[in-house]
């Protein structure tokens, strides 16, 4: 729920909102062209520049970064707008048309949301899961074409979305995609992940990198509000702040579901 500081527009007071986590300086060329998420001087909530994150009692953020949440988007969905925006942009980058075959590498939150948005775009969606447990959860979301590496079928993939943290899968994505297809890189590994640009050029592949949800927030809210994508099955449990230390230390509550996300409700 929003509250205003000095000079804040009254229209924002008391509204349910979500906000961009990338706060550009507002004055540089990148910001002026709508690319504040790659502003060299940007602040990032909870990450960069000493800005408090969303678990703080209050978060100060400029009104220009806010997006209103319609009544059809409840608080749990609102908390998943930011990860959804990353997936929304990744699927946009894949350029999917109805009937295209899309392979998503990585069964985490972003990978699963990519599946949901790709399905909403009319694609035939496949997922490369990490193990039997992650494969089973993906199937519970209604995806039948879920594979582990040893069982991945040799199919032509029109687009591959790399959403893992593996340093090896970016090159694998380029290997798997059809010539003339598209590869989207949204996953980040802890060590350098390398591709051979000869493969990129000789296969005439378009590669797209996605850093943040910023340009996809409005589209994600619209998709949630319309019921085109429902991210709530990804939430394992709803908790309070008092429950959080145990979660962050790796303790999973016995009653938690199999989803990858925990929703903190105040």
Report the CATH number that the domain containing residue 157 is assigned in CATH.
3.40.50.720
The number of domains in the chain is: 2
Q: Which residues contact 125 (CB under 8 A, 6 or more apart)?
A: 102, 104, 115, 118, 119, 143, 145
**Does residue 219 form part of some domain?**
no
Residues 195, 119 share a domain: yes
Residues 50, 91 share a domain: no
Residues 116, 32 share a domain: no
Cα separation, 52 vs 67, in Å, equals 19
Q: What angle do CA 149, 152, 156 make, to 5 degrees?
A: 135
**Does residue 30 form part of some domain?**
yes
pLDDT at 1: 59
**Structure pTM?**
0.94
pLDDT at 187: 97
**Does residue 38 form part of some domain?**
yes
Residues 122, 183 share a domain: yes
**Does residue 46 form part of some domain?**
yes
Residues 48, 98 share a domain: no
Residue 59 is part of which domain span?
10-68
pLDDT at 4: 62
Residues 172, 51 share a domain: no
pLDDT at 51: 85
Residues 195, 104 share a domain: yes
Residues 33, 91 share a domain: no
Residues 128, 19 share a domain: no
pLDDT at 59: 86
Nearest by Cα to 212 from 58, 39, 1:
39
pLDDT at 53: 86
**CA 161 vs CA 164, 170, 249: distances in Å:** 9, 9, 30
pLDDT at 9: 73
**Does residue 185 form part of some domain?**
yes
CB 240 within 8 A of CB 264: yes
**Does residue 237 form part of some domain?**
no
Residues 201, 109 share a domain: yes
Cα separation, 126 vs 62, in Å, equals 39
Residues 204, 114 share a domain: yes
Residues 91, 63 share a domain: no
Averages of pLDDT over runs of 10 residues in the chain (266 residues) are 66 89 95 95 90 83 92 97 98 98 97 98 97 95 96 97 97 98 97 96 98 97 98 96 91 93 90
């Amino acid at each position: 729920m929003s509250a205003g500081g000095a000079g804040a527009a009254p229209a924002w007071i008391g509204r349910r909102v979500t906000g961009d986590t990338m706060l550009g300086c507002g004055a540089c060329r990148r910001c002026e062209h709508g690319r504040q998420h790659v502003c060299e001087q940007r602040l990032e909530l909870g990450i960069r520049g000493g800005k408090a994150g969303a678990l703080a009692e209050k978060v100060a953020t400029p009104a220009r970064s806010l997006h209103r949440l319609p009544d059809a988007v409840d608080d749990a969905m609102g908390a998943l707008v930011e990860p959804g925006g990353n997936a929304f942009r990744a699927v946009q980058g894949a350029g999917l048309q109805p009937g295209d075959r899309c392979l998503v590498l990585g069964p985490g939150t972003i990978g699963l949301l990519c599946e949901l948005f790709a399905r909403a775009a009319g694609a035939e969606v496949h997922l490369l899961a990490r193990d039997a447990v992650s494969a089973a959860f993906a199937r519970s979301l209604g995806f039948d074409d879920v594979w582990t590496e040893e069982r991945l079928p040799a199919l032509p993939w029109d687009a591959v979305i790399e959403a893992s943290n593996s340093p090896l899968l970016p090159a694998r994505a380029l290997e798997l995609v059809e010539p003339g297809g598209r590869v989207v890189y949204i996953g980040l590994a802890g060590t350098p992940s390398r591709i051979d640009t000869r493969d990129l050029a000789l296969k005439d592949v378009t590669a797209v990198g996605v850093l943040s949800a910023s340009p996809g927030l409005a589209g994600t809210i619209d998709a949630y509000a319309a019921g085109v994508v429902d991210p709530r099955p990804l939430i394992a449990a709803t908790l309070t702040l008092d429950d959080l230390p145990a979660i962050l230390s790796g303790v999973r509550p016995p009653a938690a579901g199999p989803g990858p996300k925990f929703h903190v409700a105040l």
